[in-house]
Amino acid sequence: MAVAWGDPAIVLRCGVQQPASLKPTSRCDVVNGVGWFSRQDQDHDWIFTTIGRSTNVELRVPSDYTPAADALIDVADAIKDNLAVSEPCV
pTM (two decimals): 0.92
List pLDDT tens digits, range 1-36. Answer: 899 999 999 999 999 999 999 998 999 999 999 999
CB 40 within 8 A of CB 46: yes
List pLDDT tens digits, range 33-89. Answer: 999 999 999 999 999 999 999 999 999 999 999 999 999 999 999 999 998 888 767
> CA dihedral defined by 40, 69, 61, 14, rounded to 10 degrees?
100
**pLDDT attached to residue 1:** 87
Q: What is the rounded distance in angstroms from the CA atom of residue 52 to the CA atom of residue 23? A: 12
Give the SS3 label for residue 77: helix
